[in-house]
Structure 1
Amino acid sequence: MKPRKTPPAPLLWAFFFLATGIGFAMVTRFSEPSRSALFAVTLFGFCFALGALFFAYINSSKYRLPSLILLLLAIMAFGALRLGIETRIPGNDIRQLAGQNVTITGTVVSEIDVKPERQRFDFAVDSVELGDSLYSATGTVRTYYYRGRPLAYGDRLRIRTRLQKPNKATNPFAFDFERSLSRQGIGVVAFVYTDGKVEIIDTSGGNWLIREIVRPVKTHIAATIDSGLHGGSAALLKGLLLGKGRELPASVRSAFADSGTIHILAVSGLHVGLIAGLAWLILSSIFRIPRWLAAIIVILVLALYAGVVGARPSVLRASLMFSIIVTGTAFRRPYNLLNSIGAAGFILLVIKPMWLTDIGFQLSFGATIGIAYLLPLFENWIPEKIRIKNFVGKWIILPLEVSIAATLGTAPFVAYHFHRLQIIGPIANLFVIPPLALIIGYGVLASTLIVVWKPLPLIFLYADWALLRYLLNAVKVFADIPFAYLTFPHLTPWWIALYYIILWGLPTIILRLTKSRWGGLVFLIAISLVLTVVRFAAETGFREEVKITFFDIGQGDCALVEFHGGREILIDGGMPGNAVFAVEPYLRARGLKKLDAVLLTHPDADHLGGIADLYGDFDYDVVYVPFKNQGSELYDNFLARADSNELRIELLSKGDTIRGFPEFNVLWPDTTAVSRAGSLIANINEASIVTMLEYGEAEILFTGDIGFPTEKALAVLGDSIDCDVLKVPHHGSRFSSCSTFVAKTTPVMAVISVGAKNRFGHPAPEVIDRYSASGSTILRTDRVGAVIVTIEHDSIFYECNNNSQGGFSVTDQPTKTTYVHN
């Protein structure tokens, strides 16, 4: 038997080259003259390549390959050109008015995201008032409307507000709001706090189809679900059927993520395929209408469903693919799955090139290409009588093959975006996908039959309730399995490209080397080794000698110290709620699940909060504290959690060393601040743990929230507190950083961890003046974002999240005033 191969797919290659051109343009950012040259190259390339291809097919085949290569390069150039056109900002775009007070008129063009006290929506602007003048305008504003009257899609509004640029990410690997909105074509945001600033002009704007058909259908489905289900079951069914998975509790989403089944909460090809299959079955097999008419109705149903769930790229991809497949089936024409994928991808990227950066787009195409490419190759390793004609093969082996192929197709994207790879996912999907098909089918039938007789859908909704309970329990079981997933450090695009090249060529190489049925096992072992090598290489590529990250944690302190060889210690954690967004993404990007040590300088909320928040998602070997008797509710709760989980809590005082971290010397507190028994004597800030990190000749001083009394006590130590980098005490409070302390520490660089526009007035102007007068380079996290300090031999380098950077030798002295502020 000849080995089965994947069929040729020229449209898939066209899609790949179009995506490559778009990606290249994103990196290079062509100027306007470059776009003009690109247009000329694209036009010439298309015309010449098409002409050469026509000539080659008529006269000689030897010109076909060069002509095809030229055509693909022209498509690549077209992708770059299309992105340039898409991202070009016209002169009357509303983004030009960021930072100004304006009155804008336009239409609500998105669903209203309703939360307590506020509504969020996208507002398409068509005119703007500046002073007494009215101008036409274009663009979309992400609008947050607080304590106002209810709004709806299609409302025409007149809004008085101040336009603002979205916030950029201020910490490495953290969510970038500005970039996220930019991908959606949105460049400004508005916050409206007064109802009187919003005037409803009309309620019949927006797209007629969305307003009169799509939204009523969505409301009808949601109301049907609510008529028979309540609480968590209703929310989960809405998440599965209507794409409202983000509204589920964090614990539920975490269980789906840890079990490798999170994809079912994001409406995609699986859901669209089930809807298309159910519609085709009812129309062609039950009602037996003509196949061509059934195909038209199925395509319309898919278009309606895409609109109901929000026209996400993954849904549009699946709808286009199934429309192509259904059309081919209706006219009894064979279809090429890879070509269908390529056609759908090409169309979507031509419509909106920025979808290339969308997570759903990447995962959707990665999964479908993985299935379409690998599944025919897997057939060479599993006998047909087992795969198709055997119950185990049909209901276990074949679904497992599909799940493995989808997992391999999406592995690097999952690792890149979520920093983990669920190895239990393929098996978990065997228990999750079959009931999901019934859940969606019953939900659709209930929403349809309620029109005939209201009690009728309750039968299907009650069945869905039982299936949803099973689904949730199955997901939790798999999520609780130890080693259900592997953590992955941040992958570069080069590692992702290398993986896909290997995934593309490896099955073919194995088939040529062996015809044995063991080839499948060889392939899985080989690709597992590739993933292991990629993971290890990415992890080891991170390790400098010493890296210290001072996070922009808001009004608080938080720093992570990483040593070559894999030792990490977290010093403080910032206010409650902040570390989840500022620190957790970084830890996951590093591939960390456990911290070797945590040092809490003192238990104020702006230092303890993040440590308490991260505990649970990350393991701590030991937590060091200055005392245990302070008695705040937050600290007492954390100590109680630590005790119940048998987490070691150890006291640190002057003269101690930190186990496993001999580079740290503890300088404070002494017995005047904390008793030998570990009881607080002094003011809580004055009992902060003060440590000096000494690595080679480099010295970095961490000071907590000490003030004048402790600073003067430390100044007696003389050269023992002289340092190269200083974490400025107490966020630059006017009751800290006295002249004596600044003179004794003489830092070349002073890092102030402080929140923007904080109510305390930190840092105080006089503190800035003292460090400026001493010649220190001053870095404020509220202005430069996170500060990353690396120590390499006798040199110290710093890089801020706003791209400012510099370096100095440990032998340098502060002689030049540098205040980095933007």
Structure 2
Amino acid sequence: MNRPNSVILGLAYILGLLSTGLVDFSPQLNRWQEVVIRIVILSLITLLTTIFIRRFWWQSPPRKIWLMGGLIAIFAVVYLEIRTPYPAGNDISHLLKNNVVNSIEITGSIISEIRLNRRENLQFWLEVKEFSLKNLPTEKSTGKLYVTLPNLAENEVYPGQEITIKGLLYRPRRANNPNAFDFANYLARQGAFAGLKGEIIIDKKSPTWGIWQIRQRIVEAQIQGIGREKGTLLSSITLGRQAVNLPAKITDLFIKTGLAHILAASGFHVAILLGFVLTITRNLSPKQQFIIALTVLIIYGTLTGLQPSVLRAILMGIGALIGLLYNRQVNSLGSLLLAATIILLWQPLWIWNLGFQLSFLATLGLIITVPLLKNKIDYFPNLIAEPIAISLAATLWTMPLLMFTFNSIALYNIPINIITTPLVTLISLGGVFTAFLGLIYPPLGSISASILYYPLELLLQITTFFSLLPFSTYSTGKLSLGVMLIIYICLTLICFNIWFRQRWHLIGLFILTLILIPIIYQHLTLTQVTVLATKSQPVIIIQNRGNTLLINGEEPATARYTVLPFLRQEGINQIQGAITVNNSAQFSTISESIPIKKTINLSQLEKFNLGEITGQLLEKNLFKFQVKNQSWLWIVNPKIPVNLSQEFSPLVLLWQGSNLDTQWLESIRPQTAIAVTTNLSRNARNQLRKARIKTYWTGRDGAIQWTAKNGFQPFLINE
């Protein structure tokens, strides 16, 4: 089979997998009904392509190739559904008839590295074998659990170890706020349908030998040489942060400045390692070079945990080594497609792995875009043109996906990558060398790691400097799937078609227009009130023609996981006013990412005006605000009796979900009531139903949004 036909068949498989996430069907359909609909759609596309392709591409491959491509795409849809994990009949998650099971003892084997989460608790995956409830007999079970455990000396555990752990079994929560992290969906993609909040380890067997011991030996040697902060950073650059407990503040710093790829073992690291090995073995025969380089790649891949990006790079590296062995030129684009196809045949669910997607796109950009960019800047010496072209190409091909996923961009991504490339190359080579020495003799590895202290310090200083610049992370708002696909089609046309390449500046202007027009239009016209689903005080975000008012949301976890993701989705880069009921609130977590112009304590507020947004403290416990013609009344503290001395009839009542005084409720008669609570009591529901007041509560409906055009919209769709 010739190369174009192979490309079509490989792309058909990948596009078939991608088609499973492009369209969402009605929740009333079961999974196999959705598969049948997708098969019908792909069959129609295949039929139309087979009939009409020759009219537009007279040199196209034979019709049988397009038919084979359609069949492969259909196979991909079915294969992905077969490989998608669902709970087995005796899965541990079936115990969760309610949302939690207290005091359960679960026995199983640890099947992952032991990580530290942001709260400094241990986190790992557990393969379940059996469980027991209170004094009941032990029962066999299966399944995979996401486990957290206090980081105590008696809770020290290792990968591969069998343990019995006591704790609280819980059902993971789905996202109940716009752009929030969907914990339930994340666990389901990993094949887990429940979590365990561990309290104590009841029993544990001796740990078995594993690769983790080699990895730990390397990491400890590097930490011993240059301290924990720089040691874990060096280990992360060398082995990837999936294999190292890197402090959250360093991870956040590199993500904020667009250098997160440095902390993930990827093609960059594999290319450096492979180049180094081939250089020092250049006097050996091609066969000996092949054996040595292949061995090194396998060892490195095993140490990093065979992450998708590393596996892709290793497969492409093996392809290059085979070309070297047989003295043949390897087609990089074909090698990339073959590597992606092999990986996705092995694990089709990785099609939705962000690391795999970014690795594939960045490599594609390097292969097809770097030569074009170098021709455009050939007036620079190659030493300067090369890093500029590489950074620009990788950024162009990954930025649309990052905007679609995170709703933000690192504005200084390109300059910081150009500046740090030589430094990162030096540190990566040094990291591999010190890892090798640390593996053989740890004190020698520690001494050699100390040489990298100042390069690492310089890297941290550069990253910190760029992170402190204004708008180092710029919120772009939600980029639609359609716009993202159009951008990638445009980039592909520029790279492969001369006519489009000659008009790249017009296409670039078209892409910018596609991105900017919706953002500008929203800022000029949007009037919206959002009540986020939170556990404590209501968090209210009011947007009106470019002005943003934030009420509450200063608690760090709420700010990081609920408020900031929403603000980025809305493309908000400055908050004009923030109101809090907490006298000591600083909004520090939010202000580190998005500047706040003015912070106001509610107890000191009499009247507030921000464009068409007005606010007034009526009583110590009642705050009134109005957006356009929509008036809201917020009961600040439900424990304090409500006493409204002046006549006021709000359209919307907002409170924390406790019972309301019936006479007071009848006197104000709101049209809509929003309770910020996980569970609204039956008495309160009956009370509001009798008063004929439309009621929402965040525990059932998730976040509640109001706009003048669409009225009230709950985030969660409830049957």
Instruction: Report the TM-score when normalising by structure 2.
Output: 0.86
1:356 to 343, 351, 363: 351
Distance 1:132 1:665 in 2: 58
Mapped pair 1:594 → 2:594:
no
The Cα shift of 1:441 comes to 1.4
Q: Does 1:617 align with 2:593?
A: yes
Q: Name which of structure 1's ranges 737-746 and 538-547 shifts more when overlaid on structure 2.
A: 538-547
Report the alpha carbon displacement of residue 109 of structure 1 after superposing the two structures with TM. 0.8
CA distance in 1, matches of 2:436, 2:213: 13
Counterpart of 2:539 in structure 1 is: 558
SS of the counterpart of 1:169?
coil
- Does the 8 Å CA contact 1:487/1:593 hold for their aligned counterparts? yes
The answer for the alignment partner of 1:264 in structure 2 is: 262
Letter in 2 for 1:557: P
Q: 1:614 to 1:483 in 2, by over 3 A?
A: closer
Is 2:643 aligned against 1:711? Answer: yes
CA deviations over 1:657-698 (Å, ceiling 9, x no partner): 51423x5252524xxxxxxxxxxxxxxxxx2462241534x4
* AA at the equivalent of 1:752: A
Is residue 79 from structure 1 mapped to residue 76 from structure 2 by the alignment? yes
Q: Which residue of 2 aligns with 1:780?
A: 697
Q: Does 1:700 align with 2:632?
A: yes
Tell whether 2:717 aligns with 1:722. Answer: no
Moved more, 374-383 or 33-42: 33-42
Aligned pairs (5 A) from 1:255-334: 255-282=253-280, 284-285=281-282, 288-334=283-329
TM-superposed CA distance for 1:536, in Å, is: 3.0
Structure 1 counterpart SS, 2:310: helix
- The yes-or-no answer on 1:745 pairing with 2:695 is no
1:797 aligns to 2:711 (yes or no): yes
The alpha-carbon distance between structure 1 residues 33 and 778, as it changes in their structure 2 partners (threshold 3 A), is closer
Distance 1:323 1:276, change over 3 A: same
From 380, 383, 386, the equivalent of 1:395 is: 383
The alpha-carbon distance between structure 1 residues 97 and 343, as it changes in their structure 2 partners (threshold 3 A), is farther
In terms of mean alpha carbon deviation, does 404-413 or 530-539 score higher?
530-539
Give the Å deviation of 1:452.
Answer: 6.3
Deviation digits for residues 218-269 of structure 1 (CA, Å, limit 9, x no counterpart): 1221122023111322122122112238844444334423432222122211
Shift in alpha-carbon separation, 1:8–1:586, aligned structure 2, 3 A: farther
Does structure 1 conserve the Cα–Cα contact (< 8 Å) formed by 2:166 and 2:201? no
Q: Partner of 1:533 in structure 2?
A: 514
Residues 544 and 71 of structure 1: CA distance in aligned 2, closer, same or farther (over 3 Å): farther
In 2, Cα distance between the equivalents of 1:382 and 1:107? 55
Q: SS at 2:653's partner residue?
A: strand
Would the aligned equivalents of 2:490 and 2:507 in 1 still touch at CA under 8 Å? no
Change beyond 3 A, Cα 1:447–1:478: same
Describe the SS at the equivalent of 1:168: coil
Q: Deviations over 1:428-456 (max 9, x none)?
A: 22221112122121222223235666665
Query: 2:492 maps to what in 1?
Result: 504
Select the structure of larger CA radius of gyration: 1
2:214–2:439: 8 Å Cα contact kept in structure 1?
no
Residues 219-618 of structure 1: pairs in structure 2 closer than 5 A: 219-244=216-241, 247-282=245-280, 284-285=281-282, 288-383=283-378, 392-450=380-438, 456-457=444-445, 460-482=448-470, 484=472, 486-509=474-497, 511-512=498-499, 523=504, 526-527=507-508, 530-537=511-518, 540=521, 545-563=526-544, 565-573=545-553, 575-600=555-580, 602-603=581-582, 608=585, 611-618=587-594
1:627 to partner: Cα distance: 4.4
- Write the distance in 2 (CA, Å) between the matches of 1:72 and 1:501: 20
User: What does residue 54 of structure 2 align with?
Assistant: none
Which secondary structure does the structure 2 equivalent of 1:22 belong to?
helix
**How big is the alpha-carbon RMSD for the aligned residues of Structure 1 and Structure 2?**
3.6
Counterpart for residue 174 of structure 2: 168
Contact 1:742 1:770 in 2 (8 A): no
Query: In 2, Cα distance between the equivalents of 1:452 and 1:105?
Result: 36
Matched-pair contact (CA < 8 Å) for 1:491–1:538: no
C-alpha distance in 2 between matches for 1:483 and 1:127: 51
Percentage of identical aligned residues: 23
Residue correspondences, number: 695
Q: Do the aligned partners of residues 9 and 427 (structure 1) sit closer, same or farther apart at CA in structure 2, a change above 3 Å counting?
A: farther
Compared CA separation, residues 233 and 420, structure 1 to 2 (3 A) = same
Q: Distance in 2 between matches of 1:305 and 1:688?
A: 62
For residues 57-100 of structure 1, give each alpha carbon's deviation from its aligned partner in whole angstroms, at most 9, with x where no partner exists. xxxx9883322222222221122111110125343444444346
Three-state SS of the structure 1 residue aligned to 2:274 is helix
Structure 1 unmatched ranges of 5 or more: 1-6, 53-60, 205-210, 387-391, 629-651, 670-686, 758-762, 805-821
2:149 pairs with 145, 149, 159, which one?
A: 145
After the TM superposition, which of the residue ranges 20-29 and 222-231 deviates more from structure 2?
Answer: 20-29
Change (3 A) 1:137 1:62: farther
1:91 to 89, 92, 105: 89
C-alpha contact 1:38 1:77 (8 A) present in aligned 2: no
Contact kept, 8 Å, 1:105 with 1:125, in 2: the verdict is: yes
Query: Structure 1 252/156 Cα, relative in aligned 2: closer, same or farther at 3 Å?
Result: closer
CA distance 1:613–1:733, change in 2 (3 Å): farther
Relative distance call for 1:430 and 1:705 in structure 2 (3 A) is: same
Summarize deviations over 1:129-183 as a string: whole Å, max 9, x none.
6897877654311122345532211112345665432121121101111111122
Which amino acid is the alignment partner of residue 257 of structure 2?
S
Structure-to-structure mapping, 1:158-197, within 5 angstroms: 158-159=164-165, 163-196=169-202
| One-letter code aligned to 2:674 | V
Distance 1:317 1:468, change over 3 A: same
Is the 8 Å Cα contact of residues 111 and 153 (structure 1) preserved in structure 2?
A: yes
Deviations 1:164-214 (A, max 9, x none): 321211211011111111222222212231333xx335644xxxxxx44x2
**Structure-2 separation of matches of 1:118 and 1:375:** 43
Residue range with higher mean Cα deviation, 411-420 or 76-85: 411-420
* 2:254 aligned partner, one-letter code: F
Task: Give the CA deviation at 1:10.
Answer: 5.6
Name the CA distance, whole Å, in 2 between partners of 1:447 and 1:399. Answer: 26
**1:699 Cα deviation after fit:** 3.1
- Paired residue type of 1:473: Q
Structure 1 residues 426, 11: closer, same or farther in 2, change over 3 A? farther
SS in 1 for 2:61: helix
Between stretches 156-165 and 545-554, larger displacement belongs to: 156-165
Q: Distance in 1 between matches of 2:510 and 2:534?
A: 38
